[in-house]
Copies of this chain bind each other. A is one copy, B any other.
Amino acid sequence: MAKKEKTAISPTRVEDYPEWYQQVVKASDMAEKSPVRGCMVIKPWGYALWENMVRVLDDMFKDTGVKNAYFPLFIPLSFLQKEADHVEGFAKECAVVTHHRLEKGANGELQPAGLLAEPLVVRPTSETIIGDAFSKWISSYRDLPMLLNQWGNVVRWEMRTRIFLRTSEFLWQEGHTVHATSEEAYERTLMMLEIYARFVEEYLAIPVIRGKKTRAETFPGAVETLCIEAMMQDRKALQAGTSHFLGQNFAKASQIKFQTREETEEYGWTTSWGASTRMIGGVIMTHGDDDGIILPPMIASSHIVLLPIVRNPDERSEIMSYTHRLASKLRDLDYHNRRIQVEIDDRDIGGARGWDWIRKGIPIRVEIGPRDMAENSVVFARRDRDHREKTSMNRAQFLSEIPQILDNIQLTLYDRALNFRDDHTHIIDEKTAFYDFFTPRNLEKPEIHGGFALSHWCGSPNCESTIKNDLSVTIRCIPFDAKDEKGQCICCGAPSERRVVFAKAY
């Protein structure tokens, strides 16, 4: 029997995926739990990734005419109640502000004082407070379309939390638009979904399925929710962005009306769409291996780390100055509209140094010793390959090829994720095979379950909830590219027109 290879992260993905996730996040130094229940601290290495995501998405939004604005953190309780389904959907997880100062009580301890006349909810999402502003700003068709976005924090009091994936406070953007016609609003809903899909595929190197949610999975108050779904390495689905067609529901709740060109008065048609720090969890779970996370170069917190090797103290200053010169050459290079980011790590901690950067998932590690300097060569390792594999290259060649090397890593990560998803996506037409597919195997054959099942569904909420109750499997989406194909519902056998994606999900 082959000796088990030592890995930087323990347990491995196969041994215990949920625990691997906790450990890999910790080892990457991206984020940690905070003393505030369910809230996270995003550390610089994680926040730099988020900053890159924000920058790219923000440009993509602005290219379609969207402008940024900022609305209050607090929502009066009466506002949240304006749309019945909406408040129903969020009531169970609202942080509520009831007081506006602290005062010493009889026991000498500080306690809340200054009771508010109306409780304020810390925004779980901002449809109602933004809708109120829209109702004042919009009076004519000339004011439309209204295309706004907000970057900020939201709070949803989750009982079971996991860093990046489900936290009580998270960072996100929420776009809100108003249109004169249903068609235009729906077009915008689709357009923003396509931006998310392009961003997640091109930048995060995560292939996604674009589709529509079932009624049961639709955003509270929306007419239709579009989504992108990705497969993680435990074969579960992660929703990586949603775009909602809200019809006139929120316009009616908030009285967003406008005078048409024909001088009649109508309610506006609204959309909302969001993506969050959850995407960071998606990057980790899609690309990470048993040595740590792997960051796609297009979005990585940094691209290259230079590791000067100083064995003889006399050589130190020469090696360091060579290192800084190489760093400066690299930093002058452009890589997809940003400069190449370079770290220099000259800590004297032996092999632990290289492992730190492996665990942090930086795409390229470069070791710089006296021989490399003398030979004018660069020895580097790629994070997408075995950690022992090193390539030596002439310095000038390295400088000229580095963008292609980074692109190649990006492509490798995407292809690997796509192959993984394809390998674990099955067409299933038999109910027993379906149930078997989603039943966990034993620990010796440690697949948690099969993955994505493409199966027929009759459209009945009953069948959907039966499967959810039996297997904790939900319909992730009705894919846009599903072919019209007659078949029988995997649950009840009734006629069905197309296959949907069934999966366990985060």
| CB <8 Å contact, B98 and A110 | no
Contact with B along A57-77 (1 / 0, CB 8 A): 000000000011111111111
Docked Cα-Cα span, A404 to B272, in Å, equals: 42
| CB <8 Å contact, A110 and B77 | yes
Docked Cα-Cα span, A157 to B41, in Å, equals: 25
| CB <8 Å contact, B67 and A42 | no
A101 within 8 A of B: yes
A103 within 8 A of B: yes
Which residues of the partner chain B approach A87 to less than 8 Å between Cβ atoms?
102, 110
Asked if A36 meets B102 with Cβ closer than 8 Å, knowing A47-B69, A47-B70, A69-B42, the reply is no
A328 to chain B, nearest CB (A): 15
| CB <8 Å contact, B44 and A67 | yes
| CB <8 Å contact, B97 and A95 | yes
Partner of A34, one of B100, B119, B129, B153: B129
A43 within 8 A of B: yes
Docked Cα-Cα span, A351 to B320, in Å, equals: 64
Partner of A81, one of B96, B110, B171: B110
Contact with B along A408-424 (1 / 0, CB 8 A): 00000000000000000
Looking across the interface, which residue of chain B has its beta carbon closest to that of A103? B91
Docked Cα-Cα span, A73 to B69, in Å, equals: 20
| CB <8 Å contact, A41 and B68 | no
Partner of A92, one of B50, B68, B75, B101: B101
Contact with B along A145-165 (1 / 0, CB 8 A): 000100011010100000000
Which residues of the partner chain B approach A68 to less than 8 Å between Cβ atoms?
44, 47-48, 51
Give the residue among A42, A79, A87 with the most B Cβ atoms within 10 A: A42
Asked if A79 meets B133 with Cβ closer than 8 Å, knowing A44-B68, A72-B169, the reply is no
Asked if A35 meets B132 with Cβ closer than 8 Å, knowing A96-B97, A153-B152, the reply is yes
Please state the number of chain copies in the assembly. Answer: 2
Docked Cα-Cα span, A37 to B148, in Å, equals: 23
A246 within 8 A of B: no
Docked Cα-Cα span, A387 to B93, in Å, equals: 54
Contact with B along A131-151 (1 / 0, CB 8 A): 011000000001000001000
A121 within 8 A of B: yes
A230 within 8 A of B: no
| CB <8 Å contact, B100 and A153 | no
| CB <8 Å contact, B93 and A100 | yes
A133 to chain B, nearest CB (A): 6
| CB <8 Å contact, A91 and B102 | yes
Residues of A10-67 contacting chain B, CB below 8 A: 32, 34-36, 39-44, 47-48, 50-51, 67
Docked Cα-Cα span, A47 to B69, in Å, equals: 5
| CB <8 Å contact, A94 and B100 | yes
Asked if A75 meets B152 with Cβ closer than 8 Å, knowing A70-B47, A91-B103, A94-B101, the reply is no
A122 within 8 A of B: yes
| CB <8 Å contact, A155 and B73 | yes
A99 within 8 A of B: yes
Docked Cα-Cα span, A384 to B493, in Å, equals: 75
Docked Cα-Cα span, A243 to B440, in Å, equals: 57
| CB <8 Å contact, A98 and B101 | no
A392 within 8 A of B: no
Residues of A98-113 contacting chain B, CB below 8 A: 98-103, 110-112
Partner of A36, one of B51, B76, B112, B142: B76
Docked Cα-Cα span, A36 to B155, in Å, equals: 17
Docked Cα-Cα span, A36 to B126, in Å, equals: 13
Which residues of the partner chain B approach A112 to less than 8 Å between Cβ atoms?
96, 98, 119
A120 within 8 A of B: yes
Residues of A437-488 contacting chain B, CB below 8 A: none
Looking across the interface, which residue of chain B has its beta carbon closest to that of A55? B55
Which residues of the partner chain B approach A36 to less than 8 Å between Cβ atoms?
72, 74-76, 120, 129
Which residues of the partner chain B approach A50 to less than 8 Å between Cβ atoms?
70
Extra A-B contacts (11), CB below 8 Å, given A73-B153, A93-B100, A98-B112: A36-B76, A36-B129, A47-B70, A48-B67, A91-B102, A95-B97, A95-B100, A96-B101, A96-B112, A112-B119, A152-B153
A interface residues, Cβ below 8 angstroms from B: 32, 34-36, 39-44, 47-48, 50-51, 67-77, 79-81, 87, 91-103, 110-112, 114, 119-122, 129, 132-133, 142, 148, 152-153, 155, 157, 169, 171, 347
User: 16 A-B pairs, CB-CB below 8 angstroms?
Assistant: A35-B76, A35-B132, A36-B74, A36-B129, A39-B72, A39-B73, A41-B69, A44-B67, A44-B148, A73-B153, A74-B169, A77-B102, A87-B110, A95-B100, A97-B98, A153-B153
